[in-house]
């Protein structure tokens, strides 16, 4: 794509950032919609994150995505934090407003639910959900589930205090589950979500006995390298519907693209294939 001098510019800030699929994902949409714009990787070390974020308006950026490890720094660096990002405690999308101030948003909760709705339309929201993990990704998932109306969200984390802190800070119908009880907590659940890095290429698998899980329960993983994690493979073998984590990445990108480039983009099978081909 040849850019003009008026091109709209956005990007993804992270450290490292070379593995990010976001430039390919947004690049696909820019090309598809014939937009005079660019979406670039911004490799910014942790001690420069706030400075780099504050420089976005001066550089003429429309905004950026923020990824590991800058999501908390972004919360501090922006001028205004939207209520959802404040609850989650992390910013993954920054929008430069017309007056040059910075607004921090979080689109991970939206991406999580949109992915489930797309790939597990029969998902029964009426039953409890079990979330494994209590890090930043878990907070976005738990907020998404509470806001979608989940009656109970059970949270099991290796370090129990972190799950307790998450429950105390988010409020609502959250039950903290001991790590040793994670399999038992699958009884009666309609959804199991892994938000940890367990199952990622090079990491051990999540060790959980799926036998108490009802056969209709949906199992999803935010890990998408590999697409079929050991957890998803085990769930699929026993007949549970499974949803991989790539769709969450694709859907969480939609609100940022719309804000920066003025077009509502779509998640299509073609986009999914294109992002996967970039591996």
* Residues in touch with ligand ATR (CB under 6 A): 133-138, 157-159, 162, 195-198
* Nearer CB in complex with ligand ATR: 117/162: 162
**Closer residue to ligand ATR (CB): 2 or 180:** 180
Number of other residues whose CB lies within 10 A of the CB of residue 145: 26
Q: In this structure, what DSSP letter does residue 183 have?
A: T
Residue whose C-alpha is closest to residue 88's, from 133, 154, 143, 162: 143
Distance CA 134, CA 116 (A): 20
CA-to-CA dists, residue 184 to 22, 231, 235, angstroms: 37, 16, 16
Q: From the CB of 221, what's the least distance to ligand ATR, in Å?
A: 12
Q: Which is nearer to ligand ATR, 124 or 168 (CB)?
A: 168
Q: Catalytic residue among 26, 71, 87, 251, which?
A: 71
H or E segment and range at residue 105: strand 102-105
Report the residue number, 136 or 256, with the smaller CB distance to ligand ATR: 136
The residue at minimum Cβ distance from ligand ATR is: 135
Instruction: Look at strands 37-43 and 61-66 and give their pairing.
Output: unpaired
What is the smallest separation between the CB atom of 195 and ligand ATR, expressed in angstroms? 6
The C-alpha atoms of residue 216 and residue 210 are separated, in whole angstroms, by 12
Residues 6+ apart with CB under 8 A from 231: 194, 198, 199, 205, 206, 208, 219, 221
Name which of 52 and 198 has its Cβ closer to ligand ATR: 198
Q: Is 6 an annotated catalytic residue?
A: no
- Find the shortest distance in angstroms from Cβ 163 to ligand ATR: 8
133 or 190: CB nearest ligand ATR: 133
Continuous H helices in the chain: 22-32, 49-54, 71-77, 83-88, 108-119, 136-148, 160-170, 230-237, 246-261, 269-277
CB of 229 to ligand ATR, least distance (A): 14
For residue 2, cis peptide bond before it (omega within 30 degrees of 0): no
At closest approach, how far in Å is the CB of 138 from ligand ATR?
6
Q: How far is the CB of 89 from ligand ATR (least distance, A)?
A: 10
Catalytic residue set: 71
């Amino acid at each position: 794509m040849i850019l003009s001098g008026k091109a709209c510019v956005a990007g993804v800030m992270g450290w490292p950032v070379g593995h990010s699929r976001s430039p390919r994902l947004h690049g696909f949409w820019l090309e598809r919609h014939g937009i005079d714009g660019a979406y670039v990787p911004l490799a910014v070390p942790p001690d420069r994150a706030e400075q780099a974020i504050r420089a976005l308006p001066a550089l003429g950026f429309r905004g950026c995505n923020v990824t590991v490890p800058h999501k908390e720094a972004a919360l501090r660096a922006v001028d205004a934090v939207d209520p959802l990002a404040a609850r989650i405690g992390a910013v993954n999308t920054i929008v430069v407003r017309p007056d040059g101030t910075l607004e921090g948003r979080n689109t991970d909760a939206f991406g999580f639910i949109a992915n489930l709705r797309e790939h597990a339309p029969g998902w029964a929201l009426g039953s409890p959900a079990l979330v494994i993990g209590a890090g930043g990704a878990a907070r976005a998932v738990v907020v998404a589930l509470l806001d979608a109306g989940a009656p109970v969200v059970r949270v099991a984390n290796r370090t129990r205090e972190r799950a307790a802190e998450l429950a105390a800070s988010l409020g609502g119908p959250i039950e903290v589950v001991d790590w040793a009880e994670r399999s038992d907590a699958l009884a009666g659940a309609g959804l199991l979500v892994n938000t940890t890095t367990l199952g990622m290429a090079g990491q051990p698998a999540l060790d959980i006995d799926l036998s108490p899980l009802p056969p209709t329960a949906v199992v999803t993983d935010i890990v998408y390298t590999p697409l079929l994690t050991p957890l998803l493979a085990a769930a699929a073998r026993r007949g549970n519907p499974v949803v991989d984590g790539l769709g969450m990445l694709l859907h969480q990108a939609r609100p940022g693209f719309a804000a920066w480039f003025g077009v509502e983009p779509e998640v299509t099978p073609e986009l999914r294939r294109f992002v996967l081909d970039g591996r």
